[in-house]
């Protein structure tokens, strides 16, 4: 399974944008990039996913590098509720048995 690398932790001031990086240099052409987050004492929740093009939804934006070897999750205005561990996950579209393999993620602290 292709691996992802994320910083262990990041800090952001409230109401400022946050850019969470993810490196996936061994990504294959068929791997989808998924982002999930886990708020304290809760189960993970879906944030966004993409394949090649940048994606936007109500929660965040996903910027994918042209060579797809890295991606960035963008929270446009961080709130205290965004403090969580953010996971970047690759999903192989050629392997129906491929499941989510969560790495260590990035722990985001939002400073009031």
Among 43, 58, 81, 112, binds another protein (CB under 8 A): 43
Query: How is 14-46 classified by DSSP, letter by letter?
Result: TTS-EEEEEE-TT--TTEEEEEEEE-TTS--EE
Q: Does 98 bind another protein (CB under 8 A)?
A: yes
Residue with smaller CB distance to another protein, 97 or 112: 97
Query: Which CB atom, from 51 or from 74, has the smaller least distance to another protein?
Result: 51
58's CB contacts (< 8 A; 6+ apart) are none
Among the residue ranges 2-10, 14-22, 41-49, 68-76, the one whose residues contact another protein (CB under 8 A) = 41-49
């Amino acid at each position: 399974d292709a691996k992802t690398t994320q910083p262990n932790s990041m800090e952001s001031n409230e109401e400022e944008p946050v850019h969470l990086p993810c490196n996936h240099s061994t990504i294959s052409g068929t791997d989808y990039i998924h982002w999930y987050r886990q708020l304290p004492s809760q189960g993970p929740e879906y944030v966004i996913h993409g394949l090649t093009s940048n994606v936007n939804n109500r929660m965040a934006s996903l910027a994918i590098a042209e060579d797809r070897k890295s991606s960035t999750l963008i929270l446009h205005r961080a709130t205290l509720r965004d403090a969580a561990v953010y996971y970047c996950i690759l999903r192989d579209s050629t392997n129906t048995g491929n499941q989510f393999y969560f790495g260590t993620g990035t722990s985001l602290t939002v400073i009031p």
